[in-house]
Amino acid sequence: MSMNYLQYIQRDPCICGGEPVVTGTRVTIRTVLASLAEGMSVQEIVADFPALTPASVRAVIAFAAVSAEEDLPFPAIPALA
């Protein structure tokens, strides 16, 4: 089952310069991902940013996974002789 992250992510040029944020907040996706990269747990992130929920943090992870998948180049398939 894949998560519908779209309801959790918003991009508006009037909010944080158009950076993607968690809907209804000014918490950027970049901030959440940096916190995760530093080793913070979902619970710690929610404690630091009370406007977030565990579901919104999981949505950020899902958004990042889909974004990375779209941006990663696929290696060329070798030609068969």
Whether residue 67 lies inside any domain: the answer is: yes
Number of domains in the chain: 1
DSSP calls for 18-80: G--EETTS--BHHHHHHHHHTT--HHHHHHH-TT--HHHHHHHHHHHHHHHHHHSPPPPPPPP
Query: Quick one: how far is CA 64 from the chain centroid?
Result: 4
Q: Could you list the residue range(s) of the whole structural domain that residue 65 is in?
A: 5-71
What is the CATH classification number for the domain harbouring 46?
1.10.10.10
0.85 exceeded by the pTM? no
Q: What is the pLDDT of residue 4?
A: 83
pLDDT digits (tens, 9 = 90+) for 44-72: 999 999 999 999 999 999 999 888 876 65
Between CA 79 and CA 76 the distance in angstroms is 9
